[in-house]
Amino acid sequence: MRDPKNKLPKYESDAFDNVEYELRMTYTVETDRRIMSFVDSRWGIEVTGGIDQFEPLTIINVTPTGMARSAGMRVGDEITQINNTPALELTFNEALELFRKNRRYVRVYVRG
């Protein structure tokens, strides 16, 4: 247990061993260990996951001025369908491609 007089925790040797950094760029994929995400600046969301990552497609960031925020999407929402394609069947790259191909209109269903 931490001494309340000492505001800083004791240094533990493994405290910095699991630090991960994530670089995000519009319409590019940056990989660092287990993290892959893409940012869509037009719709204003950042998405991670996919069948190839063994995680559901999930919104991990919503920009305040993006269309996704206006539509009511929130961080943590799971994408269940993109256009007519169930999201459970999509790899990360397939989901990215659906957003890229359909620049003017994308129908996204989420569960929050």
Domain positions in the chain are 32-111
The pLDDT-based confidence of 106 (bands split at 50, 70, 90) is confident
Measured CA to CA, the distance from residue 48 to residue 30 in angstroms comes to 11
Tokens of 91: 């790899």
26-61 confidence digits (pLDDT tens): 344 454 434 567 777 777 888 999 999 889 999 999
| CATH 3.30.750.24 given to domain 32-111 | no
DSSP 48: E
Judged by DSSP in three states, 45 sits in strand
Q: What is the pTM of this model?
A: 0.65
Q: Assess contact for 63 and 43: CB atoms under 8 A.
A: no
Amino acid at 112: G
pLDDT band of residue 5 (cuts 50, 70, 90) is: low
